[in-house]
């Protein structure tokens, strides 16, 4: 690849604006159903801009500005809750793309050798994956808006999720974007880039074809989702859900799922509500999985707790939500950042996280792995539940704050990714939509319940067993990316040492 000395807008102001816009271009791939087809091309303008940077420092600045644009575009729906703090968070997280900008410039400029044609896509993609890994830490917002998750509607991608998780799909998407830049800008490296791409495509196809598949049960379990819609007041919400659940009597439901915060009272302190839930279980012939968002009797603070209720009342074990939403359910470093509550709808009081995952025994010996809302964004949680023997994953969610945004649909799409990764069907039940069910391969089961609906849905779900490659081997794609960056760093250091020695 020929060395770029200038290119792009000459004015730093206009170049910065171009970087912001280029970083925002991947955002349309995330709405569900969105522009998933745009993902293999969405980074090309940004990569071209970084390649044309006159210096490594300028590339780092363009990387940061592009990262700022990316985070703002993908998370713009947080503005009503966090206001100006959204900009501060985007600017902070965007810094992760500064070293990536310098890396892109270094890998995409210089002589068009076969080594560079192969190393550039792999190196750029590995750098991007490390950024996704860093910002996936819960305290930085968690793994929301990972590029690979945009491919939840694509059949071949669903198979790749089962091989290497969302990380592998992100890695391949960025590599494809980079390879397109190599082919477009360097004629001498085109053959090598195309040949390398063919090898990678063949390897990916082979891995997807021969990877172990989950073993689905012949007998389907009838699972019902109760979606009450937007309702003000915990008592009114409980009443609506009770009426909707009663309508399921005689329809053969075996498990009925309510959304996150569906019960706003501690069932221990309100035995009357526990009795009403038990009566519903007897009337419908199904166990109820509800979610209690309240102060628990005998414990300080508020927890979000999944509770399974049978004909005789609550059935142990309970599950306390472990991964809490930063600012939404707790404020990180509250003494320092507590002012966020005065400029937005940040949590006035921190929720208390749980400390372990559990499996719940449901009808017919079915083992259910519960997740609560934000937790479906974390690949490791569903993977652990699958390894522990869950046959079905159930996610209870509430996104009513963001009804008219990308959030409800995008959140539901994450259930498809987790299903494909873990090889387990996933039931995604929300208070106000979008609710959806996916089978063990990540494909939709029955219709989605949109945000405008107050209704129930009854689905036939086949539990699954066995291990996908991702469940068995974990985040191997991340380790491979880090290893490749170490190799590139070693090559760069070796060349510098030989240059100084005059060899």
Three-state secondary structure call for residue 180: helix
Residue/partner pairs of 309-312 with CB below 8 Å, 24 or more apart: 309/274, 309/277, 309/278, 309/280, 309/281, 310/278, 310/281, 311/278, 311/281, 311/282, 312/278
The per-residue pLDDT for range 47-62, each reduced to its tens digit, is 999 999 999 999 999 9
Q: 194 vs 396, which has greater pLDDT?
A: 396
298 falls in which pLDDT band (50, 70, 90)? Answer: low
Q: Output the pLDDT for position 496.
A: 78
Residue with the larger pLDDT of the pair 34 and 138: 138
pTM, two decimal places: 0.92
> What would the DSSP string read from start to end of 489-502?
HHHHHHHHHHHHTT
Cα 150 from Cα 414, distance rounded (Å) = 9
Q: Which position has the higher pLDDT, 444 or 84?
A: 444
Contacts of 199 (CB under 8 A, 6+ apart): none
Return d(Cα 445, Cα 437) in angstroms, integer: 5
pLDDT range class, residue 4, cuts 50, 70, 90: very low
| pLDDT over threshold 90, residue 299 | no
Beta carbons within 8 Å of 116's beta carbon, 6+ residues apart: 1, 107, 110, 189
pLDDT of residue 138: 84
Helix spans in 393-461 (H) = 407-422
To the nearest whole number, what is the mean pLDDT of the chain? 89
Whether the Cβ atoms of residue 335 and residue 351 lie closer than 8 Å to each other:
no
Domain 215-322+357-467: CATH superfamily, name plus number: Carbon-nitrogen hydrolase (3.60.110.10)
User: If pLDDT is split at 50, 70 and 90, which confidence band does 19 have?
Assistant: very high
- What secondary structure does DSSP assign to 64-99, as a single string? HHHHHHHHHHHTGGGHHHHTHHHHHHHHHHHTTHHH
The yes-or-no verdict on residue 169 having pLDDT over 70 is: yes
Q: Where are the domains of the chain?
A: 12-212+474-500, 215-322+357-467
Q: How confident is the model at residue 17 (pLDDT cuts 50, 70, 90)?
A: very high
Q: In angstroms, rounded to a whole number, what is the distance separating the alpha carbons of residues 502 and 325?
A: 55
Residue 340 near residue 82, CB atoms below 8 Å: yes
Q: How far apart are CA 314 and CA 376, in angstroms?
A: 24
**7-21, 258-272, 275-289: which range is least confident on average?**
7-21
pLDDT, tens digit (0-9, with 9 covering 90-100), for 106-119: 999 877 778 888 88
| Tokens representing residue 327 in the block | 């600012």
pLDDT more than 90, % of the chain:
66
> Each residue of 244-270: pLDDT tens digit?
999 999 999 999 999 999 999 999 999
Determine which of 12-16, 89-93, 255-259, 338-342 has the lowest per-residue pLDDT on average. Answer: 338-342
pLDDT band at 76 (very low <50, low <70, confident <90, very high): confident
User: Does residue 388 sit in helix, strand or coil?
Assistant: helix
Cα separation, 229 vs 147, in Å, equals 30
374 vs 415: CA distance, rounded Å: 11
pLDDT confidence of 193, banded at 50, 70, 90?
A: confident
pLDDT of 7 reads 42
Nearest partner of 63 among 107, 115, 2, judged by Cα:
107
Interval 314-340 mean pLDDT: 80
Range in 238-242, 363-367, 376-380 the model is least confident about: 363-367
CA 496 from chain center: how many Å?
40
In the prediction, which pLDDT does 29 show? 93
Q: Is 360 helix (H, G, I), strand (E, B) or coil?
A: strand
Collapse the DSSP code of 223 into the 3-class scheme (helix H, G, I; strand E, B; otherwise coil) and give the result: strand
Predicted local confidence at residue 3, as pLDDT: 47
- For residues 189-201, give the mean pLDDT: 84
Average pLDDT over residues 464-473: 95
How far, in Å, CA of 62 to CA of 107, rounded? 16
| Run of H or E residues at 438 | strand 436-438
Helix (H) or strand (E) holding 368: strand 367-372
**What is the reported pLDDT for 38?**
94
């Amino acid at each position: 690849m020929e060395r770029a000395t200038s290119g792009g807008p000459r004015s730093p102001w206009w170049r910065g604006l171009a970087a912001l816009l280029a970083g925002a271009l991947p955002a349309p791939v995330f709405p569900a159903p969105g522009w998933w087809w745009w993902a293999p091309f969405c980074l090309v303008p940004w990569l071209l801009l970084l390649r044309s940077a006159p210096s490594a420092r300028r590339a780092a600045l363009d990387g940061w500005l592009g990262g700022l644009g990316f985070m703002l575009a993908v998370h713009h729906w947080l503005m009503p809750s966090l206001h100006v703090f959204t900009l501060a968070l985007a600017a902070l997280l965007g810094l992760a793309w500064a070293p990536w900008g310098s890396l892109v410039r270094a890998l995409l400029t210089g002589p068009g050798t076969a080594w560079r044609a192969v190393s550039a896509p792999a190196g750029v993609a590995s750098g991007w994956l490390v950024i996704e890994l860093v910002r996936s830490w819960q305290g930085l917002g968690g793994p929301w808006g990972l590029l690979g998750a945009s491919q939840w509607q694509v059949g071949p991608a669903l198979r790749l999720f089962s091989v290497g998780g969302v990380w592998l799909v992100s890695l391949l998407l960025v590599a494809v974007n980079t390879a397109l830049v190599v082919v477009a800008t360097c004629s001498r490296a085109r053959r090598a880039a195309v040949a390398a791409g063919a090898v990678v495509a063949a390897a990916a196809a082979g891995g997807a074809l021969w990877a172990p598949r989950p073993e689905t049960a012949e007998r389907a379990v009838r699972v019902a989702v109760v979606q009450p819609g937007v309702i003000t007041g915990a008592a009114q919400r409980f009443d609506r859900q009770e009426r909707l659940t009663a309508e399921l009597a005689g329809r053969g439901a075996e498990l009925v799922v309510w959304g996150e915060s569906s019960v706003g009272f501690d069932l221990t302190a309100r035995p009357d509500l526990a009795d009403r839930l038990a009566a519903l279980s007897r009337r419908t012939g199904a166990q109820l999985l509800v979610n209690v968002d309240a102060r628990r009797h005998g414990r300080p603070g508020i927890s979000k707790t999944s509770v399974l209720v049978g004909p005789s009342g609550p059935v142990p074990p309970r599950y306390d939500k472990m991964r809490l939403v930063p600012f939404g359910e707790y404020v990180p470093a509250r003494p320092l950042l507590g002012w966020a509550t005065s400029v937005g709808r940040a949590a006035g009081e921190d929720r208390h996280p749980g400390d372990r995952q559990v499996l719940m025994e449901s009808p017919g010996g079915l083992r259910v792995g519960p997740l609560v809302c934000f937790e479906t964004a974390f690949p490791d949680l569903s993977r652990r539940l699958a390894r522990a023997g869950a046959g079905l994953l159930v996610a209870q969610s509430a996104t009513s704050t963001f009804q008219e945004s990308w959030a409800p649909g995008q959140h539901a799409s994450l259930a498809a990714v987790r299903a494909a990764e873990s090889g387990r069907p996933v039931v995604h039940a929300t208070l106000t939509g979008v609710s959806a069910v996916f089978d063990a391969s990540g494909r939709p089961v029955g219709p989605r319940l949109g945000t405008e609906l107050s209704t129930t849905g009854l689905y036939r779900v086949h539990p699954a067993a066995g291990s996908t490659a991702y469940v068995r081997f974990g985040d191997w794609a991340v380790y491979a990316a880090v290893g490749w960056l170490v190799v590139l760093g070693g090559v760069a250091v070796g060349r510098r040492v030989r240059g100084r020695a005059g060899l």
